[in-house]
Structure 1
Amino acid sequence: MFVSVGRSANVENIGLENTDIIVDKGVIQVAANFQTKESHMYAVGDCIGGMQLAHVAMEEGIIAAEDISGNPQPAINYNHVPRCTYTSPEIASVGITEEQAKEQGFEVKTGKFFFRGIGKALVYGESDGFIKVVADKKNQ
């Protein structure tokens, strides 16, 4: 069994009540460039909710720093961020799920390949698991 209770943003008792920064549902609200309602203050990472991953926070920080220096960057496409859970076997994903693709109106095609069909996986005794690809039939 895998149980995860999540995390919460550290936004209490840090002085935000003395600003115009908006905290909604426990996270700081930001624009696409990570600017808060206080135009000279930015927020990135776990305190803004979303994907609580170090590599995501790093990219958010870069985008905020570039914006501050007058070099605006394109917004992050969070659908392109790889995610991983360190279990045995490991769980990883990138993109959207089959259900999300259907909800977004894609004509979905899926494929699944089990690790037991990979010689190297058998050699290492790591044949549990599979790869699932979710694609749009129109763009195969």
Structure 2
Amino acid sequence: MLIVHGTKDTFVDVELSRRFAPLFGAGAELYEPDGAQHGFAVHDDPTYAHPQSQAWQREVVAKVADFLSLQPPPCMPMRFSSRSPCQDQILLGLRQEGRPHGPPKQSASSIAASAAAPAIDTAQAAKNAL
């Protein structure tokens, strides 16, 4: 996780990010553009026209792009699975800790029925409105 917080933010004190960043674990990084206000702008520069506001914007965009380029790809759902690889990893961790691991599995037909139910209700409501 990347947290970006300007050191001169007058809306949200940077000390909050400094205090809470460690709670996100070892993968969290706090990046503090020196002198930047909330929104990474010079105070009273809502259009980001000031050269320093534009410099901070470029700096933050570059930092975010660099951070994202170093991250593993996000977990994506498997094509024929109701769970994603991330969910499987979380469940495995819970099982190893001896904690309950979520609701009972649903059958494919009950998942399909619950997914189709709102569409049927919407169609019926549209018919009733005529």
- TM class, shorter-length: under 0.3
Quick check: which has more Rg, 1 or 2?
A: 2
Instruction: Between the two structures, name the one with larger relative contact order (CA 8 Å, sep ≥ 6).
Output: 2
Q: Give the number of the structure whose residues are more often strand, by fraction.
A: 1
